[in-house]
Structure 1
Amino acid sequence: MSGSKTDTPGSEMPLHEEALQPTTIGSYTVAIARALDASGVDSKRIFNATGIALSLSTDPLTRLPAATMTRLYRACVEVTNNPYFGLIVAKHIHLTHLHALGYSLAASGSLMDFCRRLERYFRLVSQVAKANVSQTDTHVLMRFEHLVDLCGETEDAFFAFLIRVMRLLYKQEFKPVRVEMRHPMPHEGAAPYEALFRAPVLFNQAASLLVFDKADLQQVLSGSCPELAQVNDNIVISYLARLDKSDVITGVTQKIIEYLPNGDCTRDKVASALCMSPTKLQLKLSQRGTHFQQLLDDTRKELACSYLSQASRPVTEITFLLGFSDTSNFTRAFKRWTGLSPTDFRAQS
């Protein structure tokens, strides 16, 4: 998510190298095409000229390499003569373009929940940056560490999209405390950014950063639906397992979720499902700084918190969904994870 407001001329990347680049969800092109059309430009002509298929697919496994996005944006800025074209694209990105993750984000309990979910599953949106959420006493910081160089229009479009969605889910008056952009400020100035974000905007920063008032992010959202969020989170995890076939943590997590309700979620069974020996699985996980029991505990804890926020689910049902033999075992484990009993946690939620 960054780079210049156009990259260095003559730095085109061979197509076979583009294919090896980190990718972004392909449905993003739908918004770009609509932004071109809204600007009075024939989107089909631009897509054909840049050698990019204008696909209306919302399948999250349809991906575009980072360099392809840069090439497309470069053509869009040139043909529209608009250095703020990325901000225009944001108006045409919808949560549905993010498939299951979009529905999950929309069902979040709070904007903090929204940010945490985006941090956890950002790889489905794009592999070009790593999302990280941190807190101070009064602020929440959502930082995107760039893993490759990209055009600034991608950064503009994504940040503008996030703020638009947060306003839709919370309230139209919502605004960040500060916005930091990786790319340089356009020669024409920062006015369109400040008008959109209603906050100070800094350019040429080390990373992309949104700073929020913590009190805003802790408010319960009117569209909160933990059941819908949980169902779609599981779908996202399954997509990530297919997208990151070499990512052993995602693969193990998916299998844990699948096997927990059967009460037979063991390291040997998960290893067999991933076509490797238990010893090899243990080695691969240790190379990633974790182990099977840690992933099992982390997954159970996350699912337990989600299930307990769903008032219609009795604790007995949650116990068996998480693979525990009885509620006393679940209660002991949950107290170890959170310091609270399931009942007390549900009351606080």
Structure 2
Amino acid sequence: MSGLKTGTPGDGVESPLCEDAQQPSNIGSYALAIAKALEASHVDSVRIFRAVGIPANLSIDPMTRLSTTTMTRLYRACVDVTNNPYFGLTVAKFLQLPHLHALGYSLAASGSLMDFCRRLERYFRLVTQAAKVSLTEVDDEVLLRFEYLVEFCGEREDAFFGFMVRTMRLLYRPEFNPLRVELHRPMPHEGAEPYEVLFCAPVSFSQVSGLLVFDKADLLQNLSGSCPELAQASDSIVISYLARLDKNDVITGVTQKIIEFLPNGKCSRDKVASALCMSPAVLQRKLSERGTTFQQLLDNTRKELACNYLRQASRPVTEITFLLGFNDTSNFTRAFKSWTGLSPTDFRRQP
């Protein structure tokens, strides 16, 4: 294996490994999979990493970030040294959920692949700020779209799409395949066969955005490795890291404070505004500029937490009621029914 090391969180390289702090950043531990792919190709990964300005003792701390320019430069060097136009697909074999830190554990503990995709949609900024994920349902299909906000090299797209499908097969069943795949990258001159072999689905290239299309029925199946408690705990860790990463993002900051204040029953707009060092009026204006309100964020956060808590069979409804800041179970039940159309008891009875 290479000389890259997995340090403990907090002792790794400072975030501005990104040579331009204004550039979208990417989780640094992703590069550990690239190192393994280089070593499997009989290439000294330490030499290549140093050549592109990445230190040999890269940490798994999710706050250790690499700039998009650095990632592109690294992949270009890897393709050149291995003479492998499909190097990104090779990296997909070595990417593992722990490379995504707490988000990886949250994904692994998801109750279904639909939950898996929703977590990616919510928390993908921890992986990279260079792309935005959106999830839509159209009839019997689920579309997971990747919109690239800056230039995004094809090998990165190959690696993550390959990783996604491999991981979903691991969590659900080995024969699981997407219905179709669309890639933003152009097709390599050598052809599309390695993509078709990996995805077992039609693949198109040079599209406006990246897209994975799935059968909705597959995504709704319960996963045998589901663990709501682990998913909930990991989500909280992801949100705390995003708050540090997106210091100027008001929605992330408000969401984190709502989660922090709900259990004591004192989660008001004024209290959250004070915790964020701004007046309630300024907070309201900032949220309005983002197309939302404090009440919408409060309701959405409560709904998400409530669903996660109710999946934890050991938690009684009375406990969940107070964890979400409600005074009594009848108020919680009315709110939950308005959010989901189901009572908490009926929600728990679902398969």
Give the TM-score category using the shorter length.
over 0.9
Partner of 2:119: 117
Supply the distance in 2 between the matched residues of 1:150 and 1:294 (Cα, whole angstroms): 33
Q: Which residue of 2 aligns with 1:87?
A: 89
| Match 1:171 to one of 166, 170, 173 | 173
Cα deviation, residue 16, structure 1: 8.4
Partner of 1:101: 103
TM-score by length of 2: 0.93
Deviation at 1:278, TM superposition (A): 1.2
Change (3 A) 1:228 1:17: closer
Q: How big is the shift at 1:307?
A: 0.7
* Structure 2 residue aligned with 1:133: 135
Aligned partner of 2:286 among 284, 287, 300: 284
Once the two structures are overlaid, the 10-residue window that deviates more, 339-348 or 92-101, is: 339-348
Write the distance in 2 (CA, Å) between the matches of 1:103 and 1:190: 32
Give the structure 1 partner of residue 47 of structure 2.
45
Is the alpha carbon distance of 1:215 and 1:180 closer, same or farther for their aligned partners in structure 2, counting shifts above 3 Å?
Answer: same
The aligned amino acid for 2:174 is Q
Q: The residue matched to 1:237 in structure 2 has which SS?
A: helix
**Structure 2 equivalent of residue 264 of structure 1:** 266
Aligned partner of 1:125: which letter? Answer: V
Structure 1 residues 67-76 or 47-56, which shifts more? Answer: 47-56
Aligned partners of 1:30 and 1:54 also within 8 Å:
no
Identity percentage over the alignment? Answer: 76
Matches of 2:158 and 2:60, distance apart in 1: 21
Q: For residue 317 of structure 2, what is the amino acid of its counterpart?
A: V
Instruction: Give the whole-Å Cα distance in 2 for the aligned partners of 1:239 and 1:51.
Output: 25
Matched position secondary structure for 1:60: coil
The within-5 A match list for 1:192-271 is 192-271=194-273
Q: Is the 8 A contact 2:18 2:70 kept in 1?
A: no
Distance change in 2, residues 1:180/1:323 (3 Å): same
Q: Quote the Cα distance in structure 2 between the aligned partners of 1:284 and 1:297.
A: 18
**Aligned: 1:26 with 2:31:** no
Q: Distance in 2 between matches of 1:254 and 1:72?
A: 34
| Residue 65 (structure 2) aligns with | 63
Q: Distance in 1 between matches of 2:245 and 2:175?
A: 37
With over 3 angstroms needed to count, the CA separation of the structure-2 counterparts of 1:16 and 1:232, relative to structure 1, is: closer
Give TM-score scaled by structure 1 length.
0.94
Deviations 1:111-160 (A, max 9, x none): 11101111111111111111011112221110001100121000000000
Q: Which has the higher contact order (CA 8 A, sep 6+)?
A: 1
Take 1:63 and 1:190, find their aligned partners in 2: how far apart are those partners?
32
Q: CA deviation at 1:298?
A: 0.9
Measured in 1, the distance between the counterparts of 2:101 and 2:18 equals 28
Cα distance, 1:19 vs. partner?
A: 3.4
Equivalent residue of 1:141, what SS? strand
Q: One-letter code of the match for 2:79?
A: V
Q: What are the residue-to-residue correspondences of 1:147-186 with 2, within 5 Å?
A: 147-186=149-188
Instruction: Report the count of equivalent residues.
Output: 335
8 Å contact 1:315–1:327 — kept in the other structure? Answer: yes
Cα distance in 2 for residues equivalent to 1:31 and 1:240: 22
The two structures, once aligned, show a CA RMSD in angstroms of: 1.2
Local SS of the residue matching 1:283: helix
Given that 1:35 and 1:88 are in contact with CA atoms closer than 8 Å, whether structure 2 keeps it comes out as yes
Aligned-residue offset at 1:239: 0.6
Asked if 1 retains the 8 angstrom alpha-carbon contact of 2:18 and 2:25, the reply is: no
Post-superposition offset of 1:236: 0.6
Residue deviations 1:81-100, cap 9 Å, x none?
00000011111111001111
Amino acid at match of 2:227: C
Any idea what the Cα deviations from partners look like across 1:68-113, whole Å, max 9, x if unmatched?
1111111110010000000111111110011110000000011111
In structure 2, the residue matched to 1:8 is: none
Q: CA deviation at 1:17?
A: 6.7
Contact kept? 2:114, 2:219, Cα under 8 Å: yes
Kept after mapping to 1: 8 A contact 2:132/2:148: yes
For the pair 1:299 / 2:301, whether they are aligned, the reply is yes
